[in-house]
Chain A
């Protein structure tokens, strides 16, 4: 467990541990949906937290720690993609989906549905995909989505709207 780690007894380690525990799930989701690779997403998350720790003095409003961290994660993930000039094409790495203590047929149904959604989300262009993940998967307020992406409120709304519409059309007949 995270809390059992022997953290260095200094303030920055305590701060980054709290930041990690509160936001690692969202950061991983953003990184994974951009890189489509579990290993790359883990690297991105790790680098983002290290960078956040080193730039902690730039965080002027502690209440905005989540959007600040996710913004760093977003840029790190895009940077990784740019450096490789390619994206993974197989979103079959679905082991993050849990199905314990459920009826096996429900588990199969949920996995199939998740795979369909995954494939449809993967087909979205990255700007739409990231906006959609932040707004509808992580359920962040649209103003925070705009902050993370470094764009205006109306541009954020537009990206979310286009993503929702493309997914609705793609999943027609399934939903």
Chain B
């Protein structure tokens, strides 16, 4: 596998959705290519950081307020 091929399949590789032969070829390439290994590590960090830090949630008050308005609309129907 070449660098460009791996770049095109990186999302599937990270998500574990490559077929076994492609995954093996990707792992083989990564073992010998420091640049692709660095890109992979950086991309995995982005995904991990997003999962951990990029979530914005409603407060309890906001949840209650929105749901009560939705239920009020349900009562009008």
- Chain A residues at the B interface, C-beta cutoff of 8 Å: 1-2, 5, 7-8, 10, 12-13, 16-17, 20, 24-25, 28-29, 32-33, 42, 45-46, 49-50, 53-54, 94-98, 110, 113-114, 117-118, 121, 132-133, 136-139, 142, 157, 160-161, 164-165, 167-168, 171-172, 175
Interfacial residues of chain B within 38-70, with CB under 8 A of chain A in the complex: 39, 42-43, 45-47, 49-51, 53-60, 62-70
Judging by beta carbons under 8 Å apart, are B43 and A168 in contact?
yes
Known: A121-B54, A137-B54, A165-B43. A5 touches B71 (CB 8 A): yes
Judging by beta carbons under 8 Å apart, are B55 and A137 in contact?
yes
Known: A12-B77, A53-B77, A96-B57. A168 touches B71 (CB 8 A): no
The 4 A-B pairs at the shortest CB distance, nearest first, are namely A96-B56, A175-B45, A161-B11, A136-B50
B21 at the interface (CB under 8 A from A): no
A5, A7, A24, A136: the one contacting B47 at CB < 8 Å is A136
Judging by beta carbons under 8 Å apart, are B39 and A53 in contact?
no
- Chain B residues at the A interface, C-beta cutoff of 8 Å: 10-12, 14-15, 17, 39, 42-43, 45-47, 49-51, 53-60, 62-71, 73-75, 77
14 contacts across the A-B interface (CB closer than 8 A):
A2-B64, A13-B74, A16-B71, A16-B74, A46-B69, A53-B70, A53-B73, A96-B55, A97-B56, A117-B53, A136-B46, A137-B50, A142-B15, A168-B42
Judging by beta carbons under 8 Å apart, are B43 and A20 in contact?
no
Known: A10-B74, A12-B77. A5 touches B64 (CB 8 A): yes
- For the complex, what is the distance from the CA of A167 to the CA of B53, rounded to whole Å? 14
Judging by beta carbons under 8 Å apart, are A160 and B58 in contact?
no
A50, A121, A172: the one contacting B73 at CB < 8 Å is A50
Judging by beta carbons under 8 Å apart, are B60 and A46 in contact?
no
Judging by beta carbons under 8 Å apart, are A46 and B70 in contact?
yes
Closest to A114 in B: B53
A20, A113, A139, A142: the one contacting B53 at CB < 8 Å is A113
Judging by beta carbons under 8 Å apart, are A113 and B42 in contact?
no
